[in-house]
Amino acid sequence: MSKKEKPIRRFLPELPPMTALPCIEFSGNREVVIEGSKGVLEYSPDCIRVNTCCMVISVSGRELNLRCISDTALIIDGFITAAEFSV
């Protein structure tokens, strides 16, 4: 390495392992799949709040339904107007 070339150093915040982070997949504004859920905190036709390992995900909209739910994943469908992530 010559004197002019300096190594690039990047400082990134400490993040949890990628397997611990939830995976969220939207299909337009009609469906959202959340993998890595720990449970449902609130369930109504207007708002569904889901607990994950590192955040709470709030999905707002109209006529929201939990179409499918398992130990670690769920599917929300309806007319989604907003998603909020609280740490």
Query: What digits encode the pLDDT tens for the residues 38-76?
Result: 999 999 999 999 999 899 999 999 999 999 999 899 999
| pLDDT exceeds 60 at position 83 | yes
Considering only CA atoms, which of 60, 54, 56 is closest in space to residue 32? 60
Amino acid at 78: G
Nearest-CA neighbor of 82 among 52, 61, 55?
61
Rounded to whole angstroms, how far apart are CA atoms 5 and 14? 27
Give every CB contact of residue 87 below 8 A, 6+ residues apart in sequence.
54, 55
pLDDT tens readout for residues 11-45: 655 655 555 789 999 999 999 999 999 999 999 99
Q: Domain residues of the chain, as ranges?
A: 18-86
CATH fold, domain 18-86, is Immunoglobulin-like (2.60.40)
